[in-house]
Structure 1
Amino acid sequence: MFAKATKADLRRTALARRMALDSGEVARRSDKLRENLFRQFPVDAWQWLHLFLPLAKRNEPDTWGFISWVWSEALPLRLAAPVVQPDGISLKHYELTPDGQNTLNRWGITEPVPHPVTAPEVFPVLLDAVLVPLLAVDRTGQRVGYGGGFYDRFLAQCRPGTQFIGLNLLNEPPVRRIADVLPTDVPLTAYITPGRVWRF
């Protein structure tokens, strides 16, 4: 990977490498990400974990394995996921429960269907940790996503001390520096690959 590059360079290269993974490799590496999260972070102390639901056509980490693990082990951890709002630039967040319903949005991303009982709204200040999608990260925890700014706006609403944990299927170390970080970009506190965890 690059020592220093723009977000566009990093995005293009990382997405191509990730898209080259077959479905079996995506599943295997997603399991490793889950294992690293539950072994190396104080999940038992968290009340709320926010996670993204994977966009399969872009080979995103399969977080359904994380969800199934929490529910099958009957962990006291509660889960939340984002829903893109009609303005197309902001997110609201709703609880994921075994009884809740999901739907596909216009981008093909699975979202919980809001419901006062099975999927109530969850406010960012409640969250203990957020699993963040990304394509690359640098040594200060700055990340490269798809460029929409959804997560930076969302993470800025969380309370101080919330852990922002990036997930990457590629076993890529942080690059030295992302050249075009913006003042509104929110850095991660940790970064997980199938082979290692970095903390910032």
Structure 2
Amino acid sequence: MTKAELRRTALAARRALPAAELAHRSAALLGQLQQHFKVAQWRWVHTFLPAVRQHEPDTWPIIRWLWAEHPAMQIAVPVMQADGITLRHYHLTPETELVESRWGIPEPVGAAEVAPDAFDAVLLPLLAFDQKGHRVGYGKGFYDRFLAECRPNALRIGLSLEPPVPQIADVWPGDMPLHACLTPERVWWF
């Protein structure tokens, strides 16, 4: 399937998920992270805050667990810039004030900016991924541009509510493949 086809089908499937099932699958992603990754070795982790309207995986259980169990670890989240193509990244703490963006995504207010080369791991949103570690996002390339600015050894970890498709038909050279992808059932390594 092409990225456009996968976007349509994945969005429809995700929007059809009942809230309880979304919460159950999101909690299972946290379990996979806890079980399969050496999180204690990370100093900085980047994650997204969920767009509730899009039924994205709820990353708040992961964030709260990191704050509770790894208090020395720092967390950053992205903010879409006014140009519509750039992400900047800001430190997230339990005290950070959040406001909802026009896309329905919580964004930090008054937080310190963090450079992309600081991150040891990046937890990535996606709509679909394939068995080779390629991901389908919303189609604007925000994360591919951001990941190109990260250190080469920063772990790129997708968070998916569904298992992979066999292959994405229209992968291009600028796509940044995943190192791993968490699903509720297992971790896929690439």
By the TM > 0.5 criterion, same fold?
yes
TM-superposed CA distance for 1:74, in Å, is 4.8
In 2: Cα distance, 1:180 partner to 1:162 partner: 25
What are the within-5 Å matches in structure 2 for residues 174-185 of structure 1?
A: 174-185=164-175
Match of 1:93 among 83, 89, 101: 89
**C-alpha contact (below 8 Å) 2:50/2:56 kept by paired residues:** yes
What TM-score does the superposition give when structure 2 sets the normalisation length? 0.96
What's the counterpart of residue 181 of structure 2?
Answer: 191
SS, match of residue 108 in structure 1: coil
The whole-number CA distance in structure 2 between the counterparts of 1:16 and 1:86 is 28
Alignment length (residue pairs):
190
Aligned partner of residue 177 in structure 1, secondary structure = coil
Q: Which residue pairs with 1:138 in the alignment?
A: 130
- Per-residue CA distance 1:115-165 (angstroms, 9 max, x = gap): 3xxx21111101000010111111221100111111001001000111000
Task: Tell me the equivalent position of 2:161.
Answer: 169
Instruction: Specify the SS of the correspondent of 2:50.
Output: coil
Deviation at 1:176, TM superposition (A): 2.5
Superposed CA RMSD: 1.1
With structure 1 as the length reference, what TM-score do the two structures score? 0.92
Which shifted more, 138-147 or 150-159? 138-147
> Which sections of structure 1, spanning at least 5 residues, go unmatched?
none
User: Percent identity of the aligned residues?
Assistant: 56
Matched, 1:57 2:49: no
In structure 2, stretches of 5+ residues that fail to align are none
Per the alignment, do residues 74 and 178 of structure 1 end up closer, same or farther by CA in structure 2, a change over 3 Å counting?
closer
| Residue matched to 1:150 | 142
Q: What does residue 69 of structure 2 align with?
A: 73
Q: Which amino acid aligns with 1:13?
A: T
How far is the alpha carbon of 1:199 from its aligned partner?
0.6
